[in-house]
Amino acid sequence: MRPHVLALAITGVLAVRVTAQDLPPAPPPPAGEDSSRPPPLSDIAIEGRDSAQNNALANEITPELDEAIARGLAYLAQQQNADGSFGDLRYERNIAITALACLAFMADGNVPGRGVYAEHVQKGLEFVLANVAENGLLASDAANGPMYGHGFATLFLGEVYGMTAGGGDTRLAQRTHEALVKAVRLIESTQNDQGGWRYNPVPYDADVSVTICQVMGLRSARNAGLEVSRDTIDRAVTYVRQCQNPDGGFKYQLDVGASAWPRSAAGVAALYYAGIYEDESLNRGLSYLNMSAMPGTGRAPRTHYFYGHYYAIQAMYLAGGDWWARWWPAAREELLMQQLDTGAWDDRSVGPTYSTAMGLLVLQMPKRYLPIFQK
C-alpha cells in the first residue's frame, strides 16, 4: 500500500437508498428572522452531552490535559487558510485534514454559531460544501486517494448535523443536509463485492483503512437521523471480519498483509461502529493492540503513529471497562510528552496540522462532545 495515503486515513434500518426527498425539509425560519443570509447553524445546546453515561470519569481529565488541549487548539486555529481549508506540506487545502481539524474544534464543543472556534468550524464547513461533486464525492482539487477524504468529510458533516439538532432552519443547514445525503448515497453505491471500499469511488477493490472511514461516515449520518442501508453495513462487517488474522490483528486487504497495529485499531473500530459490541473478534483485536501497541511501552512502531492512536483510542473507549482504564492514562501521558512548544504535534510525513488534529481528537475523547464518541 502507499504509506502517504494510509497516513491520511487519518451505523437496524430499512435497506433503502437515501435521497434528499427521503427526509422532510427544514422548517421555515421563525417570524422576523432574516433568511436572506446564512446565519449560524444553531444556537441550541449540544444534544446528548450532559447524560451521565457521557460525562467524564474521575481523573480522566487533568489540568495538564486541559492546558495541552488549549494550546493545541490555538495552534490549529492559526493554520486555517483564508478559504477555510487546512493542510500543509504535500497536503495543502486537503479535505481530509480540513475535516479532521474541524472535528478537533468540535470535540471541544465548538460548532457553527457557538464556541470560541465557531467561526473556524463554519469556515471549514463552507470549504467542504464548496467541494461537493455532482455525484456526491467530497474532494478538493488537491485530493489524493479521494475516498479517504470523502469518509472523513462525511463524518464531519454528520457530526455538524447531529450536534446542531438537525442543523436548525438555515440555508447553511439545508446545504449540509443535502451534501450529507449525497455523500451517503455515494458510499453505498461504491461498496465493492467484498464489502469494502478503496481509494477511488468505484466498486473495484477494497482495504481496511479506507473501509473504516466509510463505516464511520455512515454511522455518523445514521446517528444524525439519516437512513443507511443495513445491507451495506452487514457486508462491511463481513469484509472486516475476513481481514482479521489468527493473531487478532488485521491485514490490509483480504489477500495482502500481516497484522499491523494501526490498521488493526481501525479494524476493531470498524466493527464497533458497524454495531458489533460483543464478539470474539473484538476481544482478539483488543488483545492484539494491548500486546503490540500499549502506550508507554515503546512497542508500537512510529509508522502511521497518529493514525493508529486515533483509532486505538476509539476502540478502547468503545470497549470500556479495563480496556479503557488501562489504555487511556497511558495514551494521554505519551501524547502530552510529545507536544511541542508551539502547541503542535508533528508528523513529518504529512505535516503538523494533520498530526495536531489527530492528537487533539485522541486527547479530547473523554469530553464526549462528538456524537460519534457518545455511548
CA-angle at 84, arms to 355 and 29, nearest 5°: 125
Report whether pLDDT(24) > 50.
no
In this predicted model, what pLDDT tens digit does every residue of 183-192 receive, in sequence order? 999 999 999 9
Residues 272, 258: Cα–Cα separation, whole Å: 22
Mean pLDDT across the stretch 337-349?
96
Using pLDDT thresholds of 50, 70 and 90, give the confidence band for residue 143: low
CA-angle at 125, arms to 122 and 128, nearest 5°: 155
Read off the C-alpha cell for 322.
479495563
For 142-156, 254-268, 317-331, 356-370, which range has the lowest pLDDT when averaged over its residues?
142-156
3-class state of residue 203 by DSSP: coil
- State the pTM of this model: 0.86
- Phi and psi torsions of 250, nearest 5°: -125, 140
Report whether pLDDT(365) > 90.
yes
Residue 89 has what pLDDT? 83
Distances from the Cα of 125 to the Cαs of 11, 340, 363, 370, in angstroms?
22, 28, 23, 16
Report whether pLDDT(2) > 60.
no
Residue 256 has what pLDDT? 86
In this predicted model, what pLDDT tens digit does every residue of 69-96 receive, in sequence order? 999 999 999 999 999 999 998 899 999 9
State the virtual CA torsion across 171, 176, 180, 181 in degrees, nearest 10. 0
CA-angle at 247, arms to 246 and 250, nearest 5°: 85
Using pLDDT thresholds of 50, 70 and 90, give the confidence band for residue 146: very high
Residue 168 has what pLDDT? 53
CB atoms within 10 A of CB 119: 17
In this predicted model, what pLDDT tens digit does every residue of 245-282 receive, in sequence order? 999 999 999 998 899 999 999 999 999 999 999 999 99
Residue 113 has what pLDDT? 92
Report whether pLDDT(19) > 60.
no
Average pLDDT, the chain: 86
Mean pLDDT across the stretch 55-68?
89
Using pLDDT thresholds of 50, 70 and 90, give the confidence band for residue 112: very high
pLDDT top residue among 23 and 128:
128
Residue 317 has what pLDDT? 97
Mean pLDDT across the stretch 10-22?
32
CB atoms within 10 A of CB 253: 20
- Phi and psi torsions of 339, nearest 5°: -70, 135
Question: In percent, how much of the chain has pLDDT > 70?
Answer: 83
Mean pLDDT across the stretch 323-340?
97
Name 114's bridge partners.
111
Contact 128, 156 (CB under 8 A): yes
In this predicted model, what pLDDT tens digit does every residue of 30-57 receive, in sequence order? 333 333 323 333 332 344 444 435 677 7
